Amino acid sequence: MKTKQALLLLLICKATWAQETFPVNGITDKRHTTYAFTHATIYTDYKTVLTDATLIIQDGIIKAVGNNVQIPAGAVISNTKGKYIYPSFIEPYGDYGVGLLKTIAAEANNENQFLTNTKGAYAWNQAIRAEVNAVNQFASDKTQAESLLKAGFGTICSFNKDGIVRGTACAVLLAPLKSQEVIIKQKAAAGLSFSKGSSSQDYPGSLMGCIALLRQTYLDAQWYAGVKSQTNLSLGAFNEQQNLPQIFDCSNWQNQLRALNIGTEFNKVYILKGNGSEYQNIEAFKKQKPAFILPLTYPKPYDLSNPWDANLASLAEMKAWEMAPANAALLSKAGFDFAFTMDGLKEKTDFIKNIRKAIQHGLSHTDALKALTHTPSQLLQLQNWVGSLNPGMFANFIITSKPVFDKESSIIENWCKGIPTIINQTTKDVRGYYSLKINGANAGQLQITGEPTAYKILVLQDTNKISATFSESFNQYLLSYESKQIPKDAIKLNGYFTDSLKMFSGSGTNALGDLLTWQATFDSSYTNLKTDTVKPDTVNIGNLWYPNMAYGNLQQPQTQNLVFRNATVWTNEAEGILQNADVHINNGKIVAVGKNLNAAGAAVIDATGKHITAGIIDEHSHIAISGDVNECTQAVTSEVRIGDVIDETDINIYRQLSGGVTSSHLLHGSCNPVGGQTQLIKLRWGATANDLKFDAKGSTWPGFIKFALGENVKQSNAGDNARQRYPQTRMGVEQVYVDAFTRARQYENEWKLFNSKKSNQMPRKDLELDALSEILNAKRFITCHSYIQSEINMLMHVADSFNFTVNTFTHILEGYKVADKMKAHGAGASSFSDWWAYKYEVYEAIPYNGKLMHDMGLTVAYNSDDAEMARRLNQEAAKAVKFGGVSEEEALKFVTLNPAKLLHVDKYVGSLKAGKDADIVIWSNNPLSVYARALQTYVDGTCYFDEATDARKREALKTERARLTAKMLEAKGRGEKTQKVTLGVHVLQGCMGVDNH
């Protein structure tokens, strides 16, 4: 404690010295005035309140605070009776005084930029800016400071908010002093984000690329710590700033959870700055209990006055509007620490209003004050300097007219480092009724009501109510009105107010310019109206749905113990299709399949006339992915991971459950030869991203990676400007692979040498090469976008030469031409049933492809690559019956067992067999018929889709929309600013055309 105080003093001295180095033009005017604020209600910290207390400050520092404080002789005394004193607020995530570094101009239009444009010994990537220290750019700025002081702030942590690694932020005071005097901590925090900001470099081009780059940066920095042969100022700075508070700027709650995943990986604790939507998944945050920095940007209500526009507003947006102001209250109830930030607020005056709104939605005054003072000081480790009012700390406080969160409260003064900023001069409350006398004669009653900041003035003369103009400046009052007394006259008065007498007195003139004297004495008939305290829990909000949108679950569904009786059961096992058979599921697994099962304890479902199959597995899907499906910027991006960017709020998860899909293989796009790592998920609608992963519940899945060949990777259909990235031909594609795997082999050898102690030089851990090395060692498997026979053949040759197998060729529309070679190589096929003619390379695609490959002994799947088609993959399977006459039993396997095999998960899913996961679908008809509907879909024995439940969800949706529509119309009626309804379009297409999926 003592050392910290010493440090504090040192800093103050330093600030003073800084000032002292400046020559004085004129006479030195150093003052050491002591100020005493007496009789105030003082919050020494967010939870300690003293009444009728005194605060003593000198030289910018608090000297004493308490009820029995001796006022030193020579102190300037300010009677603050009836007023409130609080520690001033702390902005943990600002950019005050930090002009953004000049962004580096991008190359001429349409030129690729593969490397950084930052000159010097910095990181390879322009978005890694650890070397930036905001303090180096900081300059105090009175105009900027004033608006923050007005909002009640005294301290701010200023960031250069640009890039993925943003360097350090400085903590500064907002006092109107020189820059040298206000910096209290040069490096107060380090900044991170998933946004590349002003970087003109191509990479990273996607959210998953940003995540991969950050991950690699951690590894590079660890490696750099042991490297002497080169200098990298960015990595060096990054290492140095690791013990600072790490503030991670996230654009929403999903990215916050993604940041926590990275934190877990590298053992980092992040303070998460979000967008105020944390309430949408509080449960998911409970494991790690991060601290938050919450913006107070609430969405505006939608203008729903046109019924047809109203239709387009989504329930997700409507609920977000309603629930955003409750975010802080909900987090506080769940026990999270958080600070508030002005970040993102267009109108700074909305800050306090929005805090009041949070209080109306259940946040306590204490917690609100905590979030403005205590928590930010703790998070930024400034608690010994600011955030409370204790001797030795900075004299940073605000004086308010009423309890700070009261509606009519206003900040009178904001003192920062002992320097006052007067915010509201007319804060002296002179409201009341006064007997007005002019030249000694009764001139009626002067009524001053309304608010001290905006008085309402009336002069009552008999039955006449005359409105008057009234203003004040430094206890000089002006009053003018049209007198109705006879003779009528224009009265203009000037005077002053004497507190002890509660009396105005002064002089003035009439219309003729005759001199008048006047006085107005307080009339006891006036009674002050009680002011409204902003009370918590006065607003009702709807329930949280999982996810918080249309078709979200009101309660999370549970696994069931069920027996389906008397169905047609497509086992996909040696038993084939069983008539009048039963399926028993319990604890998420299939217990038994057969006739007349003894399933004691299980609820019985009569499935007479129904068909039961294993859940559909989509080998090639791009649903439920946030922030771009492709990392297009390099030919090899094996380091990026779809698993980092799963979007659990994609409605297509629910839509596809309604088509019997239970697992989807989420793939990186096809715009580069080596794309990213894929993610197999189960469609557990309502669960959090991490819990959607196939292996979240004890199963294993080896991990796959997307490769791609042909027109997309050589950018044939990407426009005339896409002519620079290697490769541009199929020749180049082969060489990209040979080069990549050669590098991976060399990398493996470096590690072998190091691990066997034959080399002292620890290789740099390279996530791109790690993934390729996993392929070489059969720990990661390829699914390769492919069309033309020549390229298919080529990749198998490359694989053979490096001794690995291409696990799956996806699309593989000319697979029928080289099915024998694929068989010999050991590759499987995942194709479309009948697509063709959308590109030149699919001109010889034929709908008999599946049949030919199947008959050649390949494992054949049909996939969707399309959010719409995925809802009816059963029908696509049926096309194998139409085109080539594959048997119905085998055709169904194209979308169930065969993709399970291709994905190495057939021991868990793909058929109906005791012990396997209870991922099953109940169909109304033969599942290969166009007339079949999925009636129920179970994942892990849990019903995630059911026609009856779906009907109930639609009813709930209708009711909830009606309630929110009424509430929004009411908000509009109250005069709230609204926003126009727009239809958010999520473009989800497949390999059709040129969109590189």
Partner 1 sequence: MKKHFILWLLTVACMQATAQNHTTLTANQKSILFTQATIHNGRGEVLTAAALGFKNGKITYIGTDTKLPVNDYDTVINCGSKHIYPGFIGMNTQMGLVEIEAVRATIDAGEVGDINPSARSVIAYNTDNKSIATVRCDGVLMCQVVPQRGLVSGQSSVMKMDGWNWEDAAYKIDEGIIIHWPRMMLFNAWWASSPEEQQQRTERQLLQLKNLFDEARAYYMSKGSGNINLDAMCGLFNHSKKLYVEAYSVREIIAAVAFGNSYGVSLVIVGGIESCMVADLLKKHNIPVIIKGTHTLPATDDTDIRATYKLPALLQQAGITYCISVEGFWQVRTLGYQAGQAVAYGITAEEALTAITYTPAKILGIDASCGSLEKGKDATLFISEGDALDMRTNKISWAFIAGKPVDLDNVQKQLYRKYLDKFGLHDN
Based on the shown chain and the rule CB under 8 A, indicate whether residue 719 belongs to the binding site for partner 1: no
Q: Could you tell me if residue 588 is left (phi over 0), alpha (psi between -120 and 50 degrees) or otherwise beta? A: left
Our CB check for partner 1 shows the closer of 280 and 773 to be: 280
Our CB check for partner 1 shows the closer of 775 and 788 to be: 788
Our CB check for partner 1 shows the closer of 696 and 856 to be: 856
- Alpha carbons 13 and 61: distance in angstroms, whole number: 12
The DSSP letter of residue 360 is H
Our CB check for partner 1 shows the closer of 753 and 994 to be: 994
Q: What beta strand segments (E) does 779-926 contain?
A: 781-786, 808-811, 828-831, 860-862, 920-923
Q: Distances from the Cα of 480 to the Cαs of 461, 489, 508, in angstroms?
A: 14, 11, 9
Stretch that binds partner 1, among 87-95, 465-473, 852-860, 894-902 (CB under 8 A): 852-860
Q: Could you tell me if residue 609 is left (phi over 0), alpha (psi between -120 and 50 degrees) or otherwise beta? A: left
Q: Which of the residues 300 through 319 are near partner 1 (CB under 8 A)?
A: 308-309, 311-312, 314-316
Q: Which of the residues 873 through 912 are near partner 1 (CB under 8 A)?
A: 875, 878-879, 881-882, 884-888
Stretch that binds partner 1, among 165-173, 507-515, 649-657, 913-921 (CB under 8 A): 649-657
Q: Which of the residues 770 through 829 are near partner 1 (CB under 8 A)?
A: 816-817, 819-820
Based on the shown chain and the rule CB under 8 A, indicate whether residue 840 belongs to the binding site for partner 1: yes
Which strand (E) or helix (H) includes residue 942?
Answer: strand 942-946
The answer to whether the beta carbons of residues 566 and 582 sit under 8 Å apart is yes
Burial 610-629 (b: 16+ CB within 10 A, else e): bbbbbbbbbbbbbbbbbbbb
First to last CA, the chain: 59
Our CB check for partner 1 shows the closer of 490 and 824 to be: 824
- Alpha carbons 896 and 877: distance in angstroms, whole number: 10
Give the nearest distance from C-beta 980 to partner 1 in angstroms. Answer: 5
Q: Which of the residues 32 through 91 are near partner 1 (CB under 8 A)?
A: none
Our CB check for partner 1 shows the closer of 372 and 651 to be: 651
Choice from 374, 961, 967, 997 touching partner 1 (CB under 8 A): 961
Our CB check for partner 1 shows the closer of 698 and 984 to be: 984
Give the nearest distance from C-beta 962 to partner 1 in angstroms. Answer: 12
* Cβ-Cβ contacts under 8 Å for 554 (sequence gap 6 or more): 543, 545, 546, 956
- Cis status, amide bond into 301, omega within 30 of 0: no
Under rule CB under 8 A, how many of the chain's residues touch partner 1? 76
Give the nearest distance from C-beta 655 to partner 1 in angstroms. Answer: 5
Stretch that binds partner 1, among 122-130, 236-244, 407-415, 654-662 (CB under 8 A): 654-662
Based on the shown chain and the rule CB under 8 A, indicate whether residue 838 belongs to the binding site for partner 1: yes
Q: Would you call 822 exposed, middle or buried from its count of C-beta atoms within 10 A (0-12, 13-18, 19+)?
A: buried
Based on the shown chain and the rule CB under 8 A, indicate whether residue 839 belongs to the binding site for partner 1: yes
Choice from 23, 440, 487, 984 touching partner 1 (CB under 8 A): 984
Give the nearest distance from C-beta 920 to partner 1 in angstroms. Answer: 20
Our CB check for partner 1 shows the closer of 332 and 658 to be: 658
Choice from 8, 144, 855, 965 touching partner 1 (CB under 8 A): 855
Choice from 258, 356, 684, 851 touching partner 1 (CB under 8 A): 851
Structural tokens at position 804: 């690995």
Give the distance, in angstroms, between the CA of residue 186 and the centroid of all CA atoms in the same chain. Answer: 28
Based on the shown chain and the rule CB under 8 A, indicate whether residue 717 belongs to the binding site for partner 1: yes
Based on the shown chain and the rule CB under 8 A, indicate whether residue 624 belongs to the binding site for partner 1: no
- Alpha carbons 322 and 593: distance in angstroms, whole number: 48
Based on the shown chain and the rule CB under 8 A, indicate whether residue 949 belongs to the binding site for partner 1: no
Of 270, 275, 281, 320, nearest to 294 (Cα)?
275
Give the nearest distance from C-beta 969 to partner 1 in angstroms. Answer: 18
Our CB check for partner 1 shows the closer of 19 and 926 to be: 926
Site string for partner 1, 250-289 (x = CB under 8 A): ----------------------------------------
Based on the shown chain and the rule CB under 8 A, indicate whether residue 17 belongs to the binding site for partner 1: no
* 207: number of Cβ within 10 Å: 23
Give the nearest distance from C-beta 297 to partner 1 in angstroms. Answer: 17
Based on the shown chain and the rule CB under 8 A, indicate whether residue 856 belongs to the binding site for partner 1: yes
Our CB check for partner 1 shows the closer of 714 and 916 to be: 714
Choice from 365, 655, 665, 916 touching partner 1 (CB under 8 A): 655
Give the nearest distance from C-beta 696 to partner 1 in angstroms. Answer: 25
Our CB check for partner 1 shows the closer of 308 and 474 to be: 308
Give the nearest distance from C-beta 837 to partner 1 in angstroms. Answer: 4
Stretch that binds partner 1, among 9-17, 669-677, 792-800, 928-936 (CB under 8 A): 928-936
Q: Which of the residues 439 through 478 are near partner 1 (CB under 8 A)?
A: none
- Alpha carbons 543 and 548: distance in angstroms, whole number: 9
Choice from 494, 561, 929, 965 touching partner 1 (CB under 8 A): 929
Based on the shown chain and the rule CB under 8 A, indicate whether residue 482 belongs to the binding site for partner 1: no
Stretch that binds partner 1, among 554-562, 662-670, 734-742, 975-983 (CB under 8 A): 975-983
Choice from 843, 915, 955, 970 touching partner 1 (CB under 8 A): 843
Of 167, 89, 533, 547, nearest to 323 (Cα)?
547
Our CB check for partner 1 shows the closer of 823 and 913 to be: 823
Give the nearest distance from C-beta 534 to partner 1 in angstroms. Answer: 34
Sign of CA dihedral 865, 869, 872, 874: negative
- Cis status, amide bond into 307, omega within 30 of 0: no
The answer to whether the beta carbons of residues 184 and 11 sit under 8 Å apart is yes
Stretch that binds partner 1, among 270-278, 613-621, 750-758, 844-852 (CB under 8 A): 844-852
- Alpha carbons 672 and 460: distance in angstroms, whole number: 82
Based on the shown chain and the rule CB under 8 A, indicate whether residue 651 belongs to the binding site for partner 1: yes
Structural tokens at position 930: 């166009």
Our CB check for partner 1 shows the closer of 411 and 878 to be: 878
Of 551, 495, 545, 557, nearest to 520 (Cα)?
495
The answer to whether the beta carbons of residues 870 and 621 sit under 8 Å apart is yes
Our CB check for partner 1 shows the closer of 496 and 843 to be: 843
Is residue 955 classed as helix, strand or coil in its secondary structure? helix
Choice from 867, 903, 918, 922 touching partner 1 (CB under 8 A): 867
The answer to whether the beta carbons of residues 614 and 912 sit under 8 Å apart is yes
Based on the shown chain and the rule CB under 8 A, indicate whether residue 751 belongs to the binding site for partner 1: no
Of 241, 219, 225, 245, nearest to 167 (Cα)?
241
Beta-strand relationship, 562-570 and 603-606: parallel
Of 341, 319, 340, 320, nearest to 331 (Cα)?
340
Beta bridge partners of 477: 472, 495
Stretch that binds partner 1, among 261-269, 395-403, 546-554, 904-912 (CB under 8 A): 546-554
Q: Which of the residues 421 through 440 are near partner 1 (CB under 8 A)?
A: none
